[in-house]
Structure 1
């Protein structure tokens, strides 16, 4: 042991197998790393009022609850309890398919649960209620003075429904943008919220269609008409509404990622218009397809396979590409933070791969529920940090974005310390 000279400076704490990658303090070495967003410096912190956001959410949920009561009393209850129960049960299948797909798309960069619940309730209650209120006056406005029955049905299905329904569903996306850009920060976020809103709308609409169809089947003494309606709406087209509204969500998400007000208007209106066109194409096809009395579904199925299925597959390919793009973005941005000393290479791999995230949460759960919650919060904060940084690099950094970056980094550091304190042994061997 040397007895002369200055005492050696303490180096980084050696990492054992129990705490690999979770050092408490990491030296930041790369000046060209995340610091490009701006130095911390002295700043005046704006007084934050989280209660205001929660109050808005609370009032919105109360308003939606009131709308749900009115829909039940004036629309669903007249169908009768038995018919409503059958329709509700039948509507669970298509909405379960949509919710499963949304969960698969959203699990890589998960959104806050309260906003996801709000989106579904807005679609199931708010957009449906507004459609009932606005739809009839809109149809009267676009109809001639004395339309015949076929003209009235065509205007209602191919004009009124696409315009009013898609506008009311997209209003929920606008509400999320007004409450905060953190909810819709990229294309996948817009698609997820749009699909949830559309899934909620289709759920309520299916209850009404299935209920009316079952009621007519009871009156006629045969159930073939009910099963045909269920097959067309519940089996062949569970993603119809989700596909239409997702185009508006995709446009708003791209604009949110680029932080451009002009893109918000241009891509939002463009996506909404394209969704209306696809909706009109879907609803209006029944007025132009030839009907064979011996096989009434034959013409529709041919149209469905040649037109609607390719459109749906294109939209699925877009969503898969966006998922793949999100993973590349996250790896690139976290690697930048890694070069600056915030993450070890093994941590970047863990945070990018879904399987590795699950293993990390399982490992943390062996040390208690608090450790698992800390690991889950660490993963979510890191994902949000990477996607937020990608968005900032496309726009102009501001004091708010710099403050948000520091808040996320502090949150990640706090989670690291919590995990380390709960998983490291009290007495070292």
Structure 2
């Protein structure tokens, strides 16, 4: 990436060709040296931002989650026993690693703040589990008839209570992120990423409990078949089950956030939550409805899994891939608009929309030191945020806050350009 745009050289004519040092666009440029002309800022006093308020709120949230983690360990995991809980924890790392790998692939194109990603996973693994355990008993007692049987109680707990309470508690974490600010969930893919992290955290803790219980049964029976069967079904065949359910609510809230519509927040959020509850109920209810062959007890489940769950999962994967490609098109279109206004050269736009070229740019900057690499990374992050923010603004009227956010990102881009120029330009000219 060049740093010549960070200087205050006289403007070039709009008809300048790429070979003569121009940008190569076929339209008139508003300001070919826009980064160098950003100026000192708007006149008059600016309202001071208070980033410490957000950090204090995040800190209190994490402290509350830490206290909840202690309670969860003392009253839920510790009764399993030290050895059993260690085995269950180790086994639960396999499915959660698969989920985190998928989330990393989704999030790396338009990365979210690490603190909010950590909060989402912690909410799923700790907060939503505790709230589910707390409200689940009350809800089961409320929906159970006065004269019930153990079979009916088990059915209501699995098919009604678990989908309703678990999905509601997981989705509460998405609402918390929306309350913190739109910069966390600003589009459909953001909603899916955070929903997947919350669901992955919830499944991680739930798997510890299930694996621990099956390990106890294996010890009592004197064979390990029960444990490995549970690990195979939950850890390998269905690591994305909870992710698929909660992602529907995240998708709906992300679409509403992109369009900045309160009606869509309610309609798509409740609609996605309800559809996730239905899929969760179908998944849990299959164990009660499928015929069981004593000679091949898993045959009926495999038929159901291949005919119902696999198509649903493939459909959701297709939606996510389309959203990922859509973000790339959005970024190219919006950054090209900024390029025509003088902020980016065509080769810079190509670099910013390509993961391979981003890595190449960071490797080039790293040859000039760690500070240069950090500057390149911050420049890329700010440019990506600028393009996605601009796309979201197009769905609503610009406000003073969105204009201030745009200027903040442009100032960051300009500052990182100048820093890169100072670190990579030769001290003595040849």
What's the TM-score once normalised by structure 1's chain length? 0.91
Matches of 1:229 and 1:223, distance apart in 2: 10
Q: Contact 1:158/1:284 (CA < 8 Å) preserved in 2? A: yes
CA drift at 1:294? 0.4
Aligned: 1:109 with 2:106: no
What residue is the counterpart of 1:339 in the other structure? 340
Q: Contact 1:28/1:342 (CA < 8 Å) preserved in 2? A: no
**Structure 1: 5+ residue stretches without partners:** 1-8, 13-19, 34-39
CA drift at 1:41? 6.2
Q: C-alpha offsets along residues 64-117 of structure 1, whole Å, 9 cap, x if unaligned?
A: 000100010011111111000000000000000000000001110000001101
- RMSD, aligned α-carbons: 1.8
Matches of 1:339 and 1:176, distance apart in 2: 34
Aligned counterparts, 1:28-427, within 5 A: 29=30, 45-427=46-428
Matches of 2:427 and 2:262, distance apart in 1: 54
Matches of 1:74 and 1:414, distance apart in 2: 51
Matches of 2:42 and 2:425, distance apart in 1: 34
CA drift at 1:28? 6.4
Matches of 1:21 and 1:293, distance apart in 2: 75
Q: C-alpha offsets along residues 344-385 of structure 1, whole Å, 9 cap, x if unaligned?
A: 001000000000000000100111111001000000000000
Alignment coverage as a number of residue pairs: 403
What's the TM-score once normalised by structure 2's chain length? 0.91
Q: Which runs of 4+ in 1 moved over 4 A?
A: 9-12, 40-44
Change in CA separation of 1:344 and 1:214 when aligned onto 2, cut-off 3 Å: same
**Structure 2: 5+ residue stretches without partners:** 1-8, 13-20, 35-40
Matches of 1:214 and 1:55, distance apart in 2: 41
CA drift at 1:42? 5.4
Change in CA separation of 1:268 and 1:295 when aligned onto 2, cut-off 3 Å: same
Matches of 1:11 and 1:246, distance apart in 2: 49
CA drift at 1:11? 5.7
Q: Contact 1:251/1:271 (CA < 8 Å) preserved in 2? A: yes
Change in CA separation of 1:21 and 1:225 when aligned onto 2, cut-off 3 Å: farther
Q: C-alpha offsets along residues 96-149 of structure 1, whole Å, 9 cap, x if unaligned?
A: 000000000111000000110110000000000100110000100011012101
Matches of 1:331 and 1:373, distance apart in 2: 23
Matches of 2:414 and 2:29, distance apart in 1: 13
CA drift at 1:407? 0.5
Matches of 1:418 and 1:177, distance apart in 2: 34
CA drift at 1:47? 2.7
Q: Contact 2:177/2:184 (CA < 8 Å) preserved in 1? A: yes
CA drift at 1:229? 0.5
Q: Contact 2:95/2:235 (CA < 8 Å) preserved in 1? A: yes
CA drift at 1:45? 2.8
CA drift at 1:290? 0.3
Secondary structure (helix, strand or coil) at the match of 2:342 reads: coil
Q: Contact 1:290/1:299 (CA < 8 Å) preserved in 2? A: yes
Q: Contact 2:11/2:31 (CA < 8 Å) preserved in 1? A: no
CA drift at 1:291? 0.3
Matches of 2:363 and 2:22, distance apart in 1: 16
Matches of 2:205 and 2:320, distance apart in 1: 25
Q: Contact 1:21/1:346 (CA < 8 Å) preserved in 2? A: no
CA drift at 1:162? 0.4
Matches of 1:29 and 1:425, distance apart in 2: 31
CA drift at 1:48? 1.2
Matches of 1:55 and 1:264, distance apart in 2: 27
Q: Contact 1:333/1:389 (CA < 8 Å) preserved in 2? A: yes
